[in-house]
A and B are shown apart, each in its own frame.
Chain A
Amino acid sequence: AQSVTQLGSHVSVSEGALVLLRCNYSSSVPPYLFWYVQYPNQGLQLLLKYTSAATLVKGINGFEAEFKKSETSFHLTKPSAHMSDAAEYFCALNTGFQKLVFGTGTRLLVSP
């Protein structure tokens, strides 16, 4: 079965610090992977997606993620956190048939 695991339900960083949100996947076929962000009281917005064209994917708002097949990982990073990055982040997996499998989410807290 396809699944996504996000380590850490909450991650706290200081403004200006590195952001690292972890995502590991399980899939029997080559995966398509996504990171979404959800700001308070809003729907989900796509940050970036991996579709096998390049292993390092750049997204909006300075975020990027690297696909590592050997580690079955797709971790999200940002070099310098901003207060506006405080939100919940979801990793998702799509192995075809149009459906996404989501992780349980990681809430990013940014302190001044």
Chain B
Amino acid sequence: DVKVTQSSRYLVKRTGEKVFLECVQDMDHENMFWYRQDPGLGLRLIYFSYDVKMKEKGDIPEGYSVSREKKERFSLILESASTNQTSMYLCASSLRIGWLAGYNEQFFGPGTRLTVL
């Protein structure tokens, strides 16, 4: 059974703290993604990675960074958390069969609900 796991389901942090969100997949997928989900806005892509040590900005990268040192692990880092980063964070992974292939589904983790006070 395919699996994407996230380190925490719920997290409460204070403004200015450095926050790490961890994601691990066991499917040997090349691609990994971080999204944030907010009511009425759907899912918005923060960053994605198509290989180890590779990363590309998504639609809303400001205030975030990422790290991918191993194929199975993709970390999202909030360098200095702010209240407007209170959100649900979802990690996903997918196969990369041909660079232009768009038919690969993404597999999602359960999400981390982050509250910044």
Contacts and interface: CB of A to CB of B under 8 A. Distances in A.
Interface of A: 9, 31-32, 34, 36, 41-46, 49, 51, 90, 94-100, 102-105
Contacts of A95: 102
Contacts of A41: 9, 110-111
Q: Is the interface of B mostly helix, strand, loop or mixed?
A: loop
A63 to B, nearest CB: 15
A41 B96 CA distance: 28
Contacts of A99: 33, 45, 48, 58
B55 to A, nearest CB: 13
Q: Is the interface of A mostly helix, strand, loop or mixed?
A: loop
Q: What band does the interface of chain B fall in when counting residues whose beta carbon is under 8 Å from A?
A: 20 to 34
B103 A94 contact: yes
Interface in B77-117: 90, 92, 94, 96, 99-111
Contacts, number: 64
Contacts of A42: 110-111
Contacts of A44: 43, 90, 92, 106, 108
Interface in B21-35: 31, 33
A98 B95 CA distance: 9
A45 B111 CA distance: 12
A107 B50 CA distance: 31
A51 B101 CA distance: 10
Contacts of B92: 44
Contacts of A100: 43, 45, 106
B4 interface: yes
Nearest to A107: B39
